Amino acid sequence: MRIIISPSFYPPFNIASEEYLIKNFTDNIFLMYINDPTIIIGKHQNTLSEINYQYVKDTNINVVRRLSGGGAVFHDRGNLNFSFITNCDSKNKIDFRRYTEPIISALQSLDINAKFEGRNDLTIDGKKFSGNASHIYKSRICHHGTILYDTDMTQLSKSLKPDEDKFVDKSVKSVRSRVTNVINCMPEKLSIEKFQQIIVDHIMRLFPDSFIYNLTDEDMQNINSLVKDKYDTWKWNYGESPKYNFRKTLKTSAGKIELLLNVSNGIIEDIHFFGDFFSTKPVEEFADTIVGSRHTAEDIAKKIELTEINSYFVGFNKDEIMSLFL
């Protein structure tokens, strides 16, 4: 078992590492990494319907899409992430219990009552501390999971708290669960680095052929190429979202505006405004300027900045119209 501890806290790098390792190595690998604050989006999810966009933007939280399915999860420096990248046969490709058992046994060795529950969760006394997902590439599997060790629960809650009434789509919705930090159950409050070492030592005992592997300069270069071309791009992290409809209503003393968007691959394809507002120019003119834009604050802000908003929405200002799109 090749054991790799990522040298980086940069989320796109660590998620790209998984793709690089599953596609370019043939032996079994155990990867561990810690990310700066980020939301990791499942492959099939609509990014904007999973995140509290304004909070994420204001607090500089990263957003990265992974290769596997499942729901959105929050990472920060108090969250430890693990990946088993192994060969698999055609009959037993996805086996959550198999790949989480080493983590469970490591915690149980610390007298922590960790269990596997539900479809893919690890719990302590009924509270979730780990979500898991898998990705298949040819005859290889990447099974990865989170370990909430000492995560900022307030930031976690605020980051993953969108107004779901705004979105109607076919993407997989994240299941909100009661969660807990492992550190709260530890007999001794260790740093996350020491806790990580406990996990690594346990893996090395379970797999006697294990050895520490440090990423080479060539590995780093190839991973960083994936970061640049894929995992650090808007197209992958937002544009790969499925088609969705976005709806939001704004009420002020000037009236009510209801916005409806049809979005595909992150691009606004159709837009309609409804309400009891007044205008001195056809609102369709303004709508036409937005069609074709990415559904991002940056793109829409540029269009609004160039628009005499009060002509289309009498009594409303640019910030209020901007808020409709988020």
Residue 239, both tokens: 């544009």
pLDDT tens digits along 268-296? 999 999 888 888 888 999 999 999 999 99
CB 211 within 8 A of CB 28: no
Domain boundaries, the chain: 2-239, 244-324
Residue 182, both tokens: 């492992």
CB 33 within 8 A of CB 57: no
Distance CA 307, CA 289 (A): 9
CATH topology of domain 2-239: BirA Bifunctional Protein; domain 2 (3.30.930)
Residue 91 confidence (pLDDT): 60
- Specify the higher pLDDT residue, 90 or 130: 130
pLDDT tens digits along 201-229? 999 999 999 999 999 999 999 999 999 99
Backbone angles phi and psi of 2, in degrees to 5: -85, 115
CATH, domain range 244-324: 3.30.390.50
∠ CA 188-193-196 to the nearest 5 degrees?
85
Residue 48 confidence (pLDDT): 84
Distance CA 262, CA 242 (A): 11
Nearest to 207, CA basis, from 86, 80, 81, 79: 86
pLDDT tens digits along 78-119? 999 999 999 987 665 678 888 999 999 999 999 999 999 988
Find how far residue 320's CA is from the centre of its chain: 28
Residue 197, both tokens: 């070492």
